[in-house]
Amino acid sequence: MKTKMLIIATLLAFNIGFSQKKITWTDLSHIKFTEKFFPAYDTSFFVPTFLPPVKALDGKQITITGYFLNIDPKGELYILSKGPMSACFFCGIGGPETAIELQFTSKQLFKTDNIVSVTGILKLNATDVDHFTYILTECKGQRIN
């Protein structure tokens, strides 16, 4: 009985330790955009349609590496980008699929353009234009450079 319990405990620990999925920016590129008018804003926005490889990541704990961007003077909005600030999608390079809104539980001390690896729960956002297409909640980050 002790042996069975030890095996079960080991398997559970192994599963918990490796439950997050490490992904790349290519994994997030399986997406299509269509233009949709939003009367509340009196303008059109591009709305994502997530393809099956991305849909499979929704609600999962993932880890991804990119450039940390702190674009809010109050330090309340953090972004992980495929490229550095000078090449982020705000500047016309890449699309919304190359950036992730990061929701940390505490203020971060990373600096803009630090390369970081971030782990969190991935949320796919196709409806709320006040947030990014990809949102990572419950984030924990580690500086790579």
Q: What pLDDT score does 96 carry?
A: 84
Residue 73 is predicted with a pLDDT of 78
Residue 121: count other Cβ atoms within 10 Å of its Cβ: 16
Which run of H or E residues covers position 5?
Answer: helix 2-17
pLDDT at 95: 81
Q: What is the pLDDT of residues 80-96, one digit of tens each?
A: 999 988 776 666 667 88
Low-confidence ranges of the chain (pLDDT < 50): 1-18
Q: Work out the mean pLDDT of the chain and round it to a whole number.
A: 85
